[in-house]
Amino acid sequence: MSYEVELKFPVIDAADLESKIEALEPERTMVREEFDVYFSHPARDFNQTDEALRMRRVGQRCSLTYKGPKIDTTSKTRREIDLSLPPGLRMFDEWAELLLALGFRPVAEVKKLRRKLWIKWQGLPVEISLDHVDELGRYVELETLTEEECVPAARAKLEELAAHLGLKNSERRSYLELLLEKRGRGEE
Amino acid sequence: MSYEVELKFPVIDAADLESKIEALEPERTMVREEFDVYFSHPARDFNQTDEALRMRRVGQRCSLTYKGPKIDTTSKTRREIDLSLPPGLRMFDEWAELLLALGFRPVAEVKKLRRKLWIKWQGLPVEISLDHVDELGRYVELETLTEEECVPAARAKLEELAAHLGLKNSERRSYLELLLEKRGRGEE
Protein backbone atom coordinates (compact mmCIF):
# COMPACT_ATOMS: atom_id res chain seq x y z
CA MET A 1 0.00 0.00 0.00
CA SER A 2 1.40 3.42 -1.00
CA TYR A 3 1.47 6.40 1.30
CA GLU A 4 1.61 10.00 0.24
CA VAL A 5 4.08 11.87 2.46
CA GLU A 6 3.34 15.55 2.07
CA LEU A 7 4.25 18.86 3.63
CA LYS A 8 2.49 22.10 2.78
CA PHE A 9 3.48 25.69 3.53
CA PRO A 10 2.13 29.14 2.80
CA VAL A 11 4.38 31.03 0.38
CA ILE A 12 5.59 34.39 1.71
CA ASP A 13 8.19 35.30 -0.92
CA ALA A 14 7.37 33.53 -4.20
CA ALA A 15 10.37 34.90 -6.13
CA ASP A 16 12.87 33.80 -3.46
CA LEU A 17 11.29 30.33 -3.23
CA GLU A 18 11.30 29.84 -6.99
CA SER A 19 14.97 30.76 -7.32
CA LYS A 20 15.89 28.31 -4.53
CA ILE A 21 13.93 25.55 -6.29
CA GLU A 22 15.53 26.38 -9.65
CA ALA A 23 18.96 25.99 -8.00
CA LEU A 24 18.02 22.35 -7.30
CA GLU A 25 17.76 21.84 -11.07
CA PRO A 26 14.29 20.35 -11.52
CA GLU A 27 14.15 17.47 -14.00
CA ARG A 28 10.99 18.76 -15.59
CA THR A 29 8.23 21.25 -14.90
CA MET A 30 4.61 21.58 -15.88
CA VAL A 31 1.90 24.19 -15.44
CA ARG A 32 -1.74 23.22 -15.39
CA GLU A 33 -5.13 24.21 -14.06
CA GLU A 34 -6.70 21.72 -11.68
CA PHE A 35 -10.39 21.60 -10.95
CA ASP A 36 -11.41 19.49 -7.95
CA VAL A 37 -14.79 18.51 -6.60
CA TYR A 38 -14.95 16.99 -3.13
CA PHE A 39 -17.74 14.65 -2.13
CA SER A 40 -19.35 13.80 1.19
CA HIS A 41 -19.96 10.15 2.12
CA PRO A 42 -23.52 8.75 2.40
CA ALA A 43 -22.94 7.47 5.96
CA ARG A 44 -19.63 8.81 7.32
CA ASP A 45 -18.77 12.38 8.22
CA PHE A 46 -15.47 12.81 6.36
CA ASN A 47 -14.71 15.85 8.56
CA GLN A 48 -14.75 13.56 11.58
CA THR A 49 -13.00 10.58 9.97
CA ASP A 50 -10.39 12.81 8.26
CA GLU A 51 -10.98 11.20 4.89
CA ALA A 52 -11.70 12.69 1.48
CA LEU A 53 -13.09 11.62 -1.87
CA ARG A 54 -12.16 13.86 -4.75
CA MET A 55 -12.77 14.03 -8.48
CA ARG A 56 -10.11 15.99 -10.34
CA ARG A 57 -10.20 17.31 -13.88
CA VAL A 58 -7.05 18.46 -15.66
CA GLY A 59 -7.91 19.18 -19.26
CA GLN A 60 -9.61 16.04 -20.57
CA ARG A 61 -8.03 13.79 -17.93
CA CYS A 62 -10.03 12.95 -14.83
CA SER A 63 -9.17 10.99 -11.74
CA LEU A 64 -10.93 9.78 -8.62
CA THR A 65 -8.94 9.85 -5.40
CA TYR A 66 -9.59 8.54 -1.92
CA LYS A 67 -7.51 9.97 0.91
CA GLY A 68 -7.41 8.12 4.19
CA PRO A 69 -6.93 9.66 7.65
CA LYS A 70 -3.60 11.34 8.40
CA ILE A 71 -1.32 8.91 10.21
CA ASP A 72 0.62 11.39 12.39
CA THR A 73 0.03 14.78 14.00
CA THR A 74 2.46 17.04 12.12
CA SER A 75 2.71 16.06 8.45
CA LYS A 76 -0.02 15.36 5.92
CA THR A 77 1.00 11.72 5.43
CA ARG A 78 -1.98 9.54 4.58
CA ARG A 79 -3.07 6.55 2.60
CA GLU A 80 -4.03 7.47 -0.93
CA ILE A 81 -5.83 5.55 -3.66
CA ASP A 82 -5.54 7.56 -6.85
CA LEU A 83 -7.27 6.10 -9.90
CA SER A 84 -7.38 7.49 -13.41
CA LEU A 85 -10.66 7.48 -15.28
CA PRO A 86 -10.65 6.61 -18.97
CA PRO A 87 -9.94 9.70 -21.11
CA GLY A 88 -12.86 11.72 -22.42
CA LEU A 89 -14.73 14.95 -21.84
CA ARG A 90 -17.87 13.22 -20.53
CA MET A 91 -16.08 11.11 -17.89
CA PHE A 92 -16.31 13.77 -15.19
CA ASP A 93 -20.09 14.03 -15.46
CA GLU A 94 -20.66 10.28 -15.83
CA TRP A 95 -18.63 9.36 -12.77
CA ALA A 96 -20.18 12.20 -10.78
CA GLU A 97 -23.57 10.73 -11.73
CA LEU A 98 -22.50 7.33 -10.37
CA LEU A 99 -21.31 8.88 -7.10
CA LEU A 100 -24.60 10.79 -6.78
CA ALA A 101 -26.62 7.59 -7.35
CA LEU A 102 -24.65 5.95 -4.52
CA GLY A 103 -25.45 8.80 -2.12
CA PHE A 104 -22.23 10.81 -2.32
CA ARG A 105 -22.78 14.58 -2.54
CA PRO A 106 -20.53 17.34 -3.88
CA VAL A 107 -19.60 19.65 -1.00
CA ALA A 108 -16.98 22.00 -2.43
CA GLU A 109 -14.96 22.91 -5.49
CA VAL A 110 -11.32 23.92 -5.46
CA LYS A 111 -9.70 25.57 -8.48
CA LYS A 112 -6.01 26.25 -8.68
CA LEU A 113 -3.18 26.99 -11.06
CA ARG A 114 -0.44 24.48 -10.24
CA ARG A 115 3.17 24.55 -11.35
CA LYS A 116 4.77 21.16 -10.77
CA LEU A 117 8.50 20.52 -10.56
CA TRP A 118 10.29 17.22 -10.00
CA ILE A 119 13.58 17.18 -8.11
CA LYS A 120 15.73 14.73 -6.20
CA TRP A 121 16.64 15.61 -2.64
CA GLN A 122 19.27 13.35 -1.12
CA GLY A 123 18.25 10.63 -3.53
CA LEU A 124 14.52 10.96 -2.76
CA PRO A 125 12.26 11.85 -5.73
CA VAL A 126 10.17 14.86 -4.66
CA GLU A 127 7.29 16.48 -6.45
CA ILE A 128 7.02 20.20 -5.71
CA SER A 129 3.72 21.95 -6.43
CA LEU A 130 3.62 25.73 -6.52
CA ASP A 131 -0.05 26.48 -6.19
CA HIS A 132 -2.11 29.59 -6.72
CA VAL A 133 -5.46 28.64 -5.23
CA ASP A 134 -8.65 30.59 -5.95
CA GLU A 135 -9.71 32.50 -2.80
CA LEU A 136 -6.68 31.24 -0.78
CA GLY A 137 -3.53 32.51 -2.51
CA ARG A 138 -0.10 30.91 -2.81
CA TYR A 139 1.03 27.64 -1.22
CA VAL A 140 3.76 25.12 -1.89
CA GLU A 141 3.50 21.35 -1.43
CA LEU A 142 6.40 18.91 -1.15
CA GLU A 143 5.34 15.35 -1.81
CA THR A 144 6.74 11.88 -2.22
CA LEU A 145 5.14 8.44 -2.45
CA THR A 146 6.56 5.64 -0.38
CA GLU A 147 5.82 2.29 1.21
CA GLU A 148 4.60 2.20 4.80
CA GLU A 149 7.94 1.21 6.39
CA CYS A 150 9.77 4.12 4.70
CA VAL A 151 7.38 6.88 5.80
CA PRO A 152 9.48 8.24 8.74
CA ALA A 153 12.69 8.45 6.68
CA ALA A 154 10.91 10.12 3.77
CA ARG A 155 9.28 12.60 6.10
CA ALA A 156 12.61 13.56 7.69
CA LYS A 157 14.10 14.25 4.27
CA LEU A 158 11.12 16.38 3.22
CA GLU A 159 11.52 18.44 6.41
CA GLU A 160 15.19 19.04 5.64
CA LEU A 161 14.21 20.15 2.15
CA ALA A 162 11.62 22.52 3.56
CA ALA A 163 14.22 24.08 5.90
CA HIS A 164 16.62 24.42 2.95
CA LEU A 165 13.93 26.30 1.01
CA GLY A 166 13.21 28.60 3.97
CA LEU A 167 9.66 27.32 4.42
CA LYS A 168 7.90 27.76 7.77
CA ASN A 169 4.52 27.28 9.43
CA SER A 170 3.60 23.91 7.94
CA GLU A 171 -0.09 23.79 7.03
CA ARG A 172 -1.82 20.48 7.72
CA ARG A 173 -5.26 21.56 6.60
CA SER A 174 -6.29 20.68 3.07
CA TYR A 175 -7.32 23.36 0.58
CA LEU A 176 -10.83 22.07 1.06
CA GLU A 177 -10.66 22.62 4.82
CA LEU A 178 -9.03 26.05 4.43
CA LEU A 179 -11.69 27.05 1.94
CA LEU A 180 -14.60 25.83 4.06
CA GLU A 181 -13.14 27.61 7.13
CA LYS A 182 -12.64 30.82 5.19
CA ARG A 183 -16.16 30.70 3.78
CA GLY A 184 -17.51 29.86 7.24
CA ARG A 185 -15.84 32.96 8.68
CA GLY A 186 -17.14 35.06 5.79
CA GLU A 187 -20.68 34.03 6.58
CA GLU A 188 -20.51 35.02 10.25
CA MET B 1 -30.68 9.15 -18.89
CA SER B 2 -30.59 5.66 -20.42
CA TYR B 3 -32.75 2.77 -19.27
CA GLU B 4 -31.96 -0.87 -19.69
CA VAL B 5 -35.13 -2.74 -20.74
CA GLU B 6 -34.54 -6.39 -20.09
CA LEU B 7 -36.43 -9.66 -19.98
CA LYS B 8 -34.94 -12.88 -18.68
CA PHE B 9 -36.17 -16.46 -19.04
CA PRO B 10 -34.98 -19.90 -18.00
CA VAL B 11 -33.94 -21.97 -21.01
CA ILE B 12 -35.77 -25.28 -21.29
CA ASP B 13 -34.68 -26.39 -24.77
CA ALA B 14 -31.34 -24.78 -25.66
CA ALA B 15 -31.07 -26.31 -29.14
CA ASP B 16 -34.57 -25.15 -30.14
CA LEU B 17 -33.94 -21.64 -28.81
CA GLU B 18 -30.61 -21.34 -30.62
CA SER B 19 -32.05 -22.39 -33.94
CA LYS B 20 -34.89 -19.85 -33.59
CA ILE B 21 -32.36 -17.11 -32.82
CA GLU B 22 -30.14 -18.14 -35.75
CA ALA B 23 -33.17 -17.80 -38.02
CA LEU B 24 -33.28 -14.11 -37.06
CA GLU B 25 -29.81 -13.73 -38.63
CA PRO B 26 -27.74 -12.18 -35.84
CA GLU B 27 -25.41 -9.38 -37.02
CA ARG B 28 -22.57 -10.67 -34.89
CA THR B 29 -21.95 -13.03 -32.02
CA MET B 30 -19.40 -13.29 -29.25
CA VAL B 31 -18.59 -15.77 -26.50
CA ARG B 32 -16.91 -14.68 -23.30
CA GLU B 33 -16.54 -15.51 -19.66
CA GLU B 34 -17.83 -12.87 -17.27
CA PHE B 35 -16.76 -12.61 -13.67
CA ASP B 36 -18.87 -10.31 -11.48
CA VAL B 37 -18.47 -9.17 -7.92
CA TYR B 38 -21.44 -7.49 -6.25
CA PHE B 39 -20.96 -5.02 -3.42
CA SER B 40 -23.13 -3.97 -0.51
CA HIS B 41 -23.56 -0.27 0.28
CA PRO B 42 -22.12 1.24 3.50
CA ALA B 43 -25.48 2.69 4.56
CA ARG B 44 -28.25 1.31 2.34
CA ASP B 45 -29.57 -2.23 2.16
CA PHE B 46 -29.47 -2.83 -1.59
CA ASN B 47 -31.85 -5.79 -1.09
CA GLN B 48 -34.43 -3.34 0.24
CA THR B 49 -33.75 -0.51 -2.21
CA ASP B 50 -33.52 -2.90 -5.20
CA GLU B 51 -30.21 -1.43 -6.33
CA ALA B 52 -26.90 -3.06 -7.19
CA LEU B 53 -23.26 -2.12 -7.58
CA ARG B 54 -21.22 -4.52 -9.62
CA MET B 55 -17.63 -4.85 -10.81
CA ARG B 56 -17.28 -6.98 -13.91
CA ARG B 57 -14.14 -8.45 -15.41
CA VAL B 58 -14.05 -9.77 -18.97
CA GLY B 59 -10.48 -10.65 -19.87
CA GLN B 60 -8.46 -7.53 -19.09
CA ARG B 61 -11.44 -5.19 -19.36
CA CYS B 62 -13.25 -4.16 -16.21
CA SER B 63 -16.33 -2.06 -15.64
CA LEU B 64 -18.23 -0.67 -12.69
CA THR B 65 -22.01 -0.65 -12.97
CA TYR B 66 -24.77 0.85 -10.86
CA LYS B 67 -28.26 -0.51 -11.31
CA GLY B 68 -31.17 1.50 -9.96
CA PRO B 69 -34.50 0.11 -8.71
CA LYS B 70 -36.76 -1.62 -11.24
CA ILE B 71 -39.36 0.80 -12.53
CA ASP B 72 -42.27 -1.60 -13.10
CA THR B 73 -43.54 -4.88 -11.67
CA THR B 74 -43.09 -7.31 -14.55
CA SER B 75 -39.91 -6.53 -16.54
CA LYS B 76 -36.37 -5.88 -15.33
CA THR B 77 -36.29 -2.29 -16.63
CA ARG B 78 -34.08 -0.07 -14.50
CA ARG B 79 -31.73 2.85 -14.61
CA GLU B 80 -28.18 1.79 -15.35
CA ILE B 81 -24.87 3.64 -15.11
CA ASP B 82 -22.25 1.46 -16.74
CA LEU B 83 -18.70 2.84 -16.70
CA SER B 84 -15.58 1.29 -18.16
CA LEU B 85 -12.40 1.30 -16.11
CA PRO B 86 -9.11 1.98 -17.88
CA PRO B 87 -7.62 -1.22 -19.34
CA GLY B 88 -5.16 -3.20 -17.25
CA LEU B 89 -4.89 -6.33 -15.18
CA ARG B 90 -4.55 -4.46 -11.87
CA MET B 91 -7.66 -2.30 -12.35
CA PHE B 92 -10.03 -4.80 -10.79
CA ASP B 93 -8.06 -4.96 -7.54
CA GLU B 94 -7.35 -1.24 -7.38
CA TRP B 95 -10.97 -0.23 -7.81
CA ALA B 96 -12.10 -2.92 -5.38
CA GLU B 97 -9.65 -1.40 -2.88
CA LEU B 98 -11.25 2.02 -3.37
CA LEU B 99 -14.73 0.59 -2.83
CA LEU B 100 -13.55 -1.20 0.33
CA ALA B 101 -12.01 2.02 1.68
CA LEU B 102 -15.38 3.75 1.17
CA GLY B 103 -17.22 1.05 3.13
CA PHE B 104 -18.60 -1.07 0.28
CA ARG B 105 -18.25 -4.81 0.85
CA PRO B 106 -18.18 -7.73 -1.63
CA VAL B 107 -21.24 -9.91 -1.02
CA ALA B 108 -21.24 -12.38 -3.89
CA GLU B 109 -19.51 -13.50 -7.04
CA VAL B 110 -21.25 -14.63 -10.20
CA LYS B 111 -19.38 -16.46 -12.94
CA LYS B 112 -20.93 -17.28 -16.27
CA LEU B 113 -20.17 -18.21 -19.83
CA ARG B 114 -22.12 -15.78 -22.02
CA ARG B 115 -22.83 -15.99 -25.70
CA LYS B 116 -23.99 -12.64 -27.03
CA LEU B 117 -25.90 -12.12 -30.26
CA TRP B 118 -27.16 -8.87 -31.74
CA ILE B 119 -30.34 -8.85 -33.78
CA LYS B 120 -32.98 -6.37 -34.92
CA TRP B 121 -36.58 -7.12 -34.03
CA GLN B 122 -39.12 -4.88 -35.77
CA GLY B 123 -36.42 -2.23 -36.11
CA LEU B 124 -35.36 -2.41 -32.45
CA PRO B 125 -31.71 -3.36 -31.80
CA VAL B 126 -31.76 -6.24 -29.30
CA GLU B 127 -28.88 -7.86 -27.49
CA ILE B 128 -29.48 -11.52 -26.71
CA SER B 129 -27.37 -13.20 -24.05
CA LEU B 130 -27.34 -16.98 -23.82
CA ASP B 131 -25.94 -17.58 -20.36
CA HIS B 132 -24.60 -20.65 -18.64
CA VAL B 133 -24.32 -19.51 -15.03
CA ASP B 134 -22.24 -21.39 -12.45
CA GLU B 135 -24.60 -23.10 -9.95
CA LEU B 136 -27.76 -21.85 -11.77
CA GLY B 137 -27.72 -23.29 -15.28
CA ARG B 138 -29.02 -21.83 -18.54
CA TYR B 139 -30.87 -18.53 -18.97
CA VAL B 140 -31.49 -16.14 -21.82
CA GLU B 141 -31.67 -12.35 -21.55
CA LEU B 142 -33.22 -10.00 -24.11
CA GLU B 143 -32.05 -6.45 -23.67
CA THR B 144 -32.25 -3.05 -25.28
CA LEU B 145 -31.20 0.43 -24.15
CA THR B 146 -33.63 3.28 -24.59
CA GLU B 147 -34.59 6.72 -23.35
CA GLU B 148 -37.19 6.99 -20.61
CA GLU B 149 -40.11 7.96 -22.88
CA CYS B 150 -39.57 4.92 -25.14
CA VAL B 151 -39.51 2.30 -22.37
CA PRO B 152 -43.11 1.00 -22.79
CA ALA B 153 -42.78 0.61 -26.56
CA ALA B 154 -39.42 -1.15 -26.27
CA ARG B 155 -40.79 -3.47 -23.61
CA ALA B 156 -43.78 -4.45 -25.76
CA LYS B 157 -41.46 -5.34 -28.65
CA LEU B 158 -39.21 -7.43 -26.39
CA GLU B 159 -42.27 -9.35 -25.16
CA GLU B 160 -43.32 -10.09 -28.74
CA LEU B 161 -39.79 -11.34 -29.44
CA ALA B 162 -39.90 -13.56 -26.35
CA ALA B 163 -43.21 -15.08 -27.51
CA HIS B 164 -41.73 -15.62 -30.97
CA LEU B 165 -38.82 -17.52 -29.41
CA GLY B 166 -41.16 -19.64 -27.28
CA LEU B 167 -39.85 -18.23 -23.99
CA LYS B 168 -42.01 -18.47 -20.87
CA ASN B 169 -41.91 -17.80 -17.12
CA SER B 170 -40.08 -14.47 -17.17
CA GLU B 171 -37.55 -14.29 -14.34
CA ARG B 172 -37.27 -10.89 -12.66
CA ARG B 173 -34.70 -11.90 -10.08
CA SER B 174 -31.07 -11.15 -10.86
CA TYR B 175 -28.46 -13.91 -10.95
CA LEU B 176 -27.20 -12.47 -7.68
CA GLU B 177 -30.64 -12.87 -6.08
CA LEU B 178 -31.13 -16.34 -7.52
CA LEU B 179 -27.72 -17.39 -6.28
CA LEU B 180 -28.22 -15.98 -2.78
CA GLU B 181 -31.64 -17.64 -2.57
CA LYS B 182 -30.25 -20.97 -3.74
CA ARG B 183 -27.38 -20.83 -1.30
CA GLY B 184 -29.77 -19.75 1.46
CA ARG B 185 -31.94 -22.82 0.79
CA GLY B 186 -28.84 -24.99 0.68
CA GLU B 187 -27.83 -23.86 4.16
CA GLU B 188 -31.21 -24.66 5.73
State pLDDT tens for residues B52-93.
999 999 988 999 999 998 877 666 678 889 999 998 878 899
Q: How confident is the model at residue B147 (pLDDT cuts 50, 70, 90)?
A: confident
Q: Is the dihedral of CA B84, B87, B88, B89 positive or negative?
A: positive
Contact list, A54 vs chain B (CB under 8 Å): none
Contact list, A51 vs chain B (CB under 8 Å): 101
CB contact under 8 A, A81 and B64: no
Contact list, A44 vs chain B (CB under 8 Å): 42, 103
Q: How far apart are CA B117 and CA B30, in angstroms?
A: 7
Q: What is the pLDDT of residues A31-72, one digit of tens each?
A: 999 999 999 999 999 989 999 999 999 988 999 999 998 877
Residue B86 gets which letter from DSSP?
Answer: P
Q: How far apart are CA B59 and CA B89, in angstroms?
A: 8
Q: How far apart are CA A172 and CA A143, in angstroms?
A: 13
Which residue among A42, A64, A84 places its CB closest to the CB of B43?
A42
* A123 neighbors A115 (Cβ within 8 angstroms): no
Flag whether pLDDT at A74 surpasses 70: no
Chain B: nearest CA to A90, how far in angstroms? 11
How many of the other CB atoms lie within 10 Å of CB of A26? Answer: 17
The reply to whether ipTM tops 0.90 is no
Stronger pLDDT, B176 or B64, i.e. the higher one: B64
Chain A: nearest CA to B83, how far in angstroms? 8
| 0.95 surpassed by pTM | no
Reduce the DSSP state of residue A100 to 3 states and report it.
helix
* B101 neighbors A1 (Cβ within 8 angstroms): no
Q: How confident is the model at residue B188 (pLDDT cuts 50, 70, 90)?
A: very low
Contact list, A61 vs chain B (CB under 8 Å): none
Query: Which chain A residue lies closest to B98 (C-alpha atoms)?
Result: A81
